[in-house]
Amino acid sequence: MFSKVLIANRGEIAVRIIRACREMNIKTVAVYSQADKESMHVHLADEAICIGGALSAESYLNISALISAAEVTDCDAIHPGYGFLSENAHFAEVCESCGITFIGPSPENIRLMGDKVKAKETMKKAGIPLVPGSDGGVKDKEDALKLAKEIGYPLIIKARSGGGGRGMRICHSDVRLVGALMTAQTEAKAAFGDSEVYIERFVQNPRHIEVQIVADKHGNVIYLGERDCSIQRRHQKVVEETPSPAIDAKTRKKLGELCVKGVKGINYCSVGTIEFLMDDKKRFYFMEMNTRIQVEHPVTEEVTGLDLIKLQIQVAAGERLKIKQEDIEFKGHSIECRINAEDPDNGFMPSPGRIDFCYFPGGKDIRIDSHIYAGYSIPPYYDSMIAKIIANGRNREEALNKMERALDELWIEPIKTTKSFCKDVICDPDFRRGNFHTGFLDKFLADEEPES
Ligand code: MV4
């Protein structure tokens, strides 16, 4: 096992990783930017090193500064968390070439899943269903028109190097296709440095369902059920839960086994998430695979009783998975609300600044993953998520009631937060009934601009 791990991240996930390391008797090194000197991860780690300026490009994305910090502190591994360099194959390669273990999958696997066309090809071979679409990139406008004829409208143009909803374009007719193609290519080039795009049939009002897997270096792979992440605003998840109210035990097993087969086919090792769209007839379509630990991992931990960060560290160190699929039980229901420092009454404008007062909910079945405290100043440079409230119950209704109670107890002053927005979702009758899809938040946001 590692003796010292550098955490190449900040905020709540850095705190979460430090906690897991502490319990595993692994020393930790925090890195921080000039804007994060007073951040909780700096305080909780065994050591801390300033690696650069406030801008992410100068600090949390600064590969040479991170490697130097790991070398001077004698770390044997780096945990990338989520975001930043967590899905950067080049960074994983640099770590390995310096003799530092990257706590994540191999650079080859990161690169393969980062190429959304190759990822689809790979999963198709394992028998995982895909949305009808171009098998490969789109060459030119003639190719696009020909593909549109086969696939039918509406269709969606996506960036080959994209993901997470960035740089997508929905198109309803031949008349718009050429323009949409050019816009998508230009945006893809600007955002990802790769103008290649692919086309899929646009699935109307889908649910976003993702399956958690864990794989070791010895060919053992387990699935840990699904998460329903359909409640999103502009591709940012707001509320996540497991189990999905739309999935039964038989479907869970079938989907989980498919995912296990998919990742076995690429010799994957780490935690990972396979994203699906589910249509109104409950058909599943593979979207993409995330090769990192995800923000919403706690709900899976709560219903399985497993610690995903510890598992991720153990498999990265070469240990065998001790748990077998048949030992895994999904117990009760877990739901997570993301609390952002944003003003829901003002277009979700970021609301950074000093927190004068902070009270977190607690009691039975409530978990808080956060790095904030009274006296802390939220810097304006990074993601605005400041806390995750996780509520558990024996069933969905109990978990929702506990979440409502927890949100009422949460008290953060004077900055604006998305707490009231989360409460509106939790109390919504359709949401309560489990009757929702990825367009659910549109009714709360009637005055927002459409995306395309
Ligand atoms: C789609 C889709 C409909 N049809 N693909 C957005 C995030 C990215 N992972 C895939 N996304 C979508 N892909 C096809 N063929 C609709 C979305 C989508 C969406 C998906 C999940 C959650 C929220 C969403 C909001 C708008 C669109």
What would the pLDDT profile of 356-409 be if each residue is shown by its tens digit? 999 999 999 999 999 999 999 999 999 999 999 999 999 999 999 999 999 999
Of ligand 1's listed atoms, the one at least distance from the Cα of 204 is: 3
Residues with pLDDT less than 70, the chain: 450-452
**With respect to CATH, is domain 207-444 assigned 3.40.190.10?**
no
CA of 166 to the centre of ligand 1 (A): 10
From 3.30.470.20, 1.10.3720.10, 3.30.1490.20, 3.40.50.800, which CATH number describes the 132-201 domain? Answer: 3.30.1490.20
Catalytic residue set: 292
Which protein residue has the closest C-alpha to ligand 1 atom 12?
A: 165
Q: What is the 3-state secondary structure (H, E, C) of the chain?
A: CCCEEEECCCHHHHHHHHHHHHHCCCEEEEEEECCCCCCHHHHHCCEEEEEECCCHHHCCCCHHHHHHHHHHCCCCEEECCCCCCCCCHHHHHHHHHCCCEECCCCHHHHHHHHCHHHHHHHHHHCCCCECCECCCCCCCHHHHHHHHHHHCCCEEEEECCCECCECCEEECCHHHHHHHHHHHHHHHHHHHCCCCEEEEECCCCCEEEEEEEEECCCCCEEEEEEEEEEEEECCEEEEEEECCCCCCHHHHHHHHHHHHHHHHCCCCCEEEEEEEEECCCCCEEEEEEECCCCCCHHHHHHHHCCCHHHHHHHHHCCCCCCCCHHHCCCCCEEEEEEEECEEHHHCCEECCEECCEEECCCCCCEEEEECCCCCCEECCCCCCEEEEEEEEECCHHHHHHHHHHHHHHCEEECCCCCHHHHHHHHHCHHHHHCCCCCCHHHHCCCCCCCCC
CA of 165 to the centre of ligand 1 (A): 6
Q: Tell me the C-alpha distance between 136 and 116, whole Å.
A: 9
CA nearest 260: which of 219, 296, 315, 292?
A: 219
Instruction: Delimit the CATH 3.30.470.20 region(s) of the chain.
Output: 207-444
CA of 68 to the centre of ligand 1 (A): 39
Please tell me the predicted confidence (pLDDT) of residue 451: 66
User: Percent of the chain at pLDDT above 90?
Assistant: 96
Mutate to test the pocket of ligand 1, among 131, 156, 199, 296 (most ligand atoms within 8 A of CB): 156
Please tell me the predicted confidence (pLDDT) of residue 160: 94
- C-alpha distances in Å from residue 17, one per residue of 7, 165, 356: 7, 27, 26
Which protein residue has the closest C-alpha to ligand 1 atom 23?
A: 438
Q: Is there a contact between 408 and 362 (Cβ–Cβ < 8 Å)? A: no
Instruction: Delimit the CATH 3.40.50.20 region(s) of the chain.
Output: 4-103
Of ligand 1's listed atoms, the one at least distance from the Cα of 165 is: 7
Q: Tell me the C-alpha distance between 241 and 11, whole Å.
A: 22
Of ligand 1's listed atoms, the one at least distance from the Cα of 133 is: 15
CA of 413 to the centre of ligand 1 (A): 35
Q: Tell me the C-alpha distance between 256 and 236, whole Å.
A: 24
CA nearest 256: which of 281, 305, 222?
A: 222
Q: Is there a contact between 263 and 322 (Cβ–Cβ < 8 Å)? A: no
CA of 197 to the centre of ligand 1 (A): 15
CA nearest 360: which of 405, 422, 412, 410?
A: 410
Which protein residue has the closest C-alpha to ligand 1 atom 26?
A: 438
Ligand 1: which residues within 6 Å by Cβ?
131, 156, 164-165, 200-203, 206, 208, 232, 235, 275, 277, 287-288, 438
CA of 250 to the centre of ligand 1 (A): 25
Q: Is there a contact between 291 and 109 (Cβ–Cβ < 8 Å)? A: yes
Of ligand 1's listed atoms, the one at least distance from the Cα of 439 is: 25
CA of 187 to the centre of ligand 1 (A): 17
Which protein residue has the closest C-alpha to ligand 1 atom 6?
A: 165
Which protein residue has the closest C-alpha to ligand 1 atom 7?
A: 165
Mutate to test the pocket of ligand 1, among 287, 294, 449 (most ligand atoms within 8 A of CB): 287
Please tell me the predicted confidence (pLDDT) of residue 450: 67
CA of 452 to the centre of ligand 1 (A): 13
Mutate to test the pocket of ligand 1, among 203, 441, 442 (most ligand atoms within 8 A of CB): 203
Q: Under CATH, what is the fold of the domain 4-103?
A: Rossmann fold (3.40.50)
pTM (global) more than 0.85 = yes
Instruction: Delimit the CATH 3.30.1490.20 region(s) of the chain.
Output: 132-201
CA of 181 to the centre of ligand 1 (A): 17
